[in-house]
Amino acid sequence: MAGLGTGRAVLFVVPALALIAAFLVFPALWTLYLGVLKYDLAGSNAAAPQFVGLGNYTDALTDPRFANSVLLTLAFVGLSAVLGQNGLGFLLAATLRRAVGWVRMLVNGLVLLSWILPGTVVVFLWQALLDRNGGTLNALLDTPGAAWTLDHPLATIVVFNIWRGTAFSMLLYSAALDAVPTSHLETARLYGSGPLRTFRDVVLPRIRGHILTNTLLITLWTFNDFTPYMLTGGGPEHRSETLPVYVYRMSIEGGQLGFGSAISLIMLVINLVIALFYLRLLRRRGG
Amino acid sequence: MRSGPIAARSAAVVAVLVTVGLTATGCVSAKHHSGGGDPQRNANAKHATLTISTNAIVGGKNAQEATWISETLIPAFEKAEKAKGRDVTVKYQQNGIDDAKYGEKLELSLKAGGGPDIYIIGGDSISRYAKAGYVEPLEKVVGSKVDSWSGWQQVDKSVQQNVSMDGKYYGVPNGVDGRVLFYNKKLFARAGLPANWQPTSWADILAAGRKLKTLSGVTPIQLDAGTPMGEATTMQGFLPLLAGAGQQIYDPKTGKYQGDTKAIRDVLSFYRSLYVTGKLGDPKLQQDPNGRDESFSEFSKGKLGIIGESDYLWRSIVCPDKSICNATAMADRNSTVGYALIPAEKPGAGVDGQDFVSMSGGGGYTINPNTKYPQQAWDLLTFMRSPTQIKAQLGDTVQITANKQVNSEILKKDPALSFIAEKVLPITRFRPSEEHYSSVGALLEEASGQAAAGKPIDQIAKEYQQGVVKLVGADHVASD
């Protein structure tokens, strides 16, 4: 605190704390409060919500749809973010380093485009791609009438999310790989190290922090991503109903705001656990 | 020393949070401030602004309604008010989205204490909205002049009831519709079925479907099922079938909903024989988020034999006029599309022993209790339901309006609509105005979707029963 003094230091922090309190802490507490109510969008419970204690939580934990939703979310996050975006992003970053200038520009541009386009536009394009009657994919594969989103809902949203979000991982890994000193790579090559070996012993230790940070971010984003709803509506038969979709369908479509809040809080806790897990890993690396 | 001020500061932050939290707590439990109170408020305001919202948009969904409101109704009303020495501006919020999504949007804005001054409320939503404080009896919002409105004499009793609760009007009715089975006469001829088809049992429907199945590239039957079709599933599919099995979803006398009953299981079994065992429908279409539009498109292209729909299909989907019906317009509608009453499971097995059944929807325009200008809003409401404006709304099209005089002038122009007015409305039923209906409806949608996807009927019925019991309590559920 040298030079500032506690009082002034606090003064500097207060605006930030106030913002955090207003936009993070308060909504969380508010969600906690709504979660113990039977509170609906319309009907008598809209005007006079009833206190139900942990009722919403026990309802959620015993609802097979909730369990289904948790499993789907884990699969969605694991396949599309942790494996898909991470893997593809790294692969693109690594290969593009050696690519000719215009190829790199082109691929970079295309990958970025899929990331920066608005969700609604992108989903509209994907619907045209996957449509059962006259979709582009069916025309290309000569499989008229194949209902991709209905027959393979989870695979659809996984592939979609990989396509949609790989850009971030690619950019981050490009920057990370730039930080690996060329001299190290050359030394490894002089000693006869193959590409895998070089990756494991020279590149990986350098970019481990980036991998963890990247994985943390894309895990949280994907976990809370609502875009799949626009593609599959959570269906058919709840087969692509990830947690954010489940919350939306229960609280807005089903009008059960209190129940939705309870699930949201459970999601918040899961998010915290994920974040803590990665932070722990990061710290272990630092220490 | 150092931790002192910080601890104090954190304590202060916590205190602020708790205070905010508690204050806000009051918001949720507080009853909705019942309107602005005085019906005469701002009656003599120099300038008033009213907003009206419907799920219609110029050039898109329900284009005709949107064009009427923005181009005819609003200028005419503003002029009429000016003549009375009142300066009123009307703003029109257009929407062109799924009906269910529109309802959610409206509910959210009403919940937040906002929302348009005038909006449409479905007859089945009145109880749910009234209990939440989103609507109030018109006489409370506007005053006693509501009951003496001359227009009421032109409204049928059943249509009046559809916008009333406990003997009080909650809206001014906008019309009524009815469900029938539409079929394609050309496909029927090719399949060796009569041009004047009228099934008298569910078995007859399936038999016709089996004949249609012999035609290649044709889906025989579409009866809406599943969650993606939303309320269309209940209104076009489940509830007419349930009425045909002898039951209504809610019995106001006993206060009980249908649970795991024979009628429910019969309906589910019918869905199963349609989509699973008989393969007479396209189960994928019931899972498709755009399934209903897809079914319209198929029917208009002559790829679908029979479809259960309301007269909305006839008026707004397959009408010959491309400017109204866009891509699904059928130039040869009048000669190609036939319509038949929906039969009971067996003759005489329908609700109240009926041979044929139907369901009707419809609602009315209502006034937001929080409006700043209740008197001006009532003026607009009655103005838009005057015979002149009703006719302007319809243009060249025909629809069963809530006005007897208008109906007698226009219905004879359209055989299908006269058929519905004369043959369907006398045997039809309305959805219950009970606050849990929409949640029970969602369970019916889910159950029908599962039946169409092949899940065993007994299991679906059992889970459905559990769902209803959870909603309304075992005392309010019938099962046998």
**A20 reaches B (C-beta below 8 A):** no
- A-chain CB neighbours of B293 within 8 Å are none
Architecture of domain A41-286: Orthogonal Bundle (1.10)
**B227 reaches A (C-beta below 8 A):** yes
- Return the number of CB contacts < 8 Å for A and B: 99
- Cα nearest neighbour of B33 on chain A: A47
Which residues in chain A (43-102) have CB-CB distances under 8 A to chain B? 43-44, 46-49
d(CA B293, CA B300): 11
d(CA A133, CA A138): 8
- A-chain CB neighbours of B128 within 8 Å are 42-43
Q: Are A184 and A202 in contact (CB under 8 A)?
A: yes
- Report phi then psi at A102, rounded to 5: -70, -30
Look at residue A162 and tell me whether its pLDDT is greater than 90.
yes
**A156 reaches B (C-beta below 8 A):** no
- Whether residues A150 and B284 touch (CB distance < 8 A) is answered with yes
Q: pTM of the full predicted structure? A: 0.86
d(CA A237, CA B449): 8
Please report the sign of the dihedral spanned by the C-alpha atoms of residue A264, residue A270, residue A275, residue A279.
Answer: positive
- Cα nearest neighbour of A63 on chain B: B467
Which residues in chain B (255-314) have CB-CB distances under 8 A to chain A? 284, 287-289, 294
| Nearest CB neighbour to B2, from listed A6, A42, A133 | A6
- Whether residues A10 and B6 touch (CB distance < 8 A) is answered with yes
d(CA B300, CA B313): 10
In chain B, which residues have pLDDT < 50? Answer: 1-4, 13, 17-18, 20-26, 29-35
- A-chain CB neighbours of B122 within 8 Å are none
- Cα nearest neighbour of A25 on chain B: B17
The length of chain A, given as a count of residues: 287
pLDDT tens string A12-61 = 999 999 999 999 899 999 999 999 999 999 988 998 999 999 999 999 99
Structure-derived torsion over alpha carbons of residues B388, B74, B310, B428, reported in degrees to the nearest 10: -60
d(CA B264, CA B258): 7
What is the structure's pLDDT at B64? Answer: 86
Q: Are B229 and B284 in contact (CB under 8 A)?
A: no
Label each residue of B362-412 as H, E or C.
Answer: CEEEEECCCCCCHHHHHHHHHHHCCHHHHHHHHCCCCCCCCCHHHHHHHHH
Label each residue of B253-273 as H, E or C.
Answer: CCCEEECCCHHHHHHHHHHHH
- B-chain CB neighbours of A14 within 8 Å are 9
Q: How far is CA B95 from each of CA A105, B66, B68, B102, B328, rounded to the nearest angstrom?
A: 41, 9, 14, 8, 20
Q: In chain B, helix, strand, coil percent, each to 5?
A: 50, 15, 35
- The domains of chain A are located at 41-286
State the burial class of residue A133 (Cβ atoms within 10 Å of its Cβ: 0-12, 13-18, 19+): exposed
pLDDT bracket for residue A189 (50, 70, 90): confident
Higher-pLDDT residue of B20, A251: A251
What is the structure's pLDDT at A285? Answer: 64
In a 13 Å sphere around the CA of B314, the CA atoms on its Cβ side amount to: 30
Distance of CA A255 to the CA centre of its chain: 26
What is the structure's pLDDT at A286? Answer: 58
- B-chain CB neighbours of A2 within 8 Å are none
| Nearest CB neighbour to A42, from listed B128, B228, B294 | B128
- Whether residues A233 and B289 touch (CB distance < 8 A) is answered with yes
d(CA B341, CA B207): 16
- A-chain CB neighbours of B132 within 8 Å are 40-44, 46-47
Tokens of A178: 């730039």
Separation in Å, CA of A152 to nearest CA in chain B: 12
- A-chain CB neighbours of B102 within 8 Å are none
Set out the domains of chain B in order of their start, with CATH numbers: 47-176+361-430 (3.40.190.10), 179-360+432-478 (3.40.190.10)
Give percent of chain A above pLDDT 70.
Answer: 98
What is the structure's pLDDT at A144? Answer: 86
- Cα nearest neighbour of A43 on chain B: B128
Q: What is the mean pLDDT of chain A?
A: 91
- A-chain CB neighbours of B304 within 8 Å are none
- Whether residues A47 and B227 touch (CB distance < 8 A) is answered with no
- A-chain CB neighbours of B294 within 8 Å are 133
Q: What is the mean pLDDT of residues A187-199?
A: 87
Give every CB contact of residue B271 below 8 A, 6+ residues apart in sequence.
B223, B225, B237, B241, B448, B451, B452
Instruction: Please enumerate, as own/partner, the contacts of A250-253 that have beta carbons within 8 Å and a separation of 24 or more.
Output: A251/A41, A252/A41, A252/B104, A252/B108, A253/B100, A253/B104, A253/B442
d(CA B168, CA B145): 13
What is the structure's pLDDT at B370? Answer: 93
Q: How far is CA A215 from each of CA A155, A174, A269, B422, rounded to the nearest angstrom?
A: 20, 15, 18, 66
First to last CA, chain B: 75
- Report phi then psi at A70, rounded to 5: -60, -45
| Nearest CB neighbour to B132, from listed A42, A233, A253 | A42
Query: H or E element: which one contains B357?
Result: strand B356-360
Amino acid, single-letter form, for residue A37: L
d(CA B106, CA A262): 24
d(CA A201, CA B1): 49
Q: Three-state DSSP class for B92?
A: strand
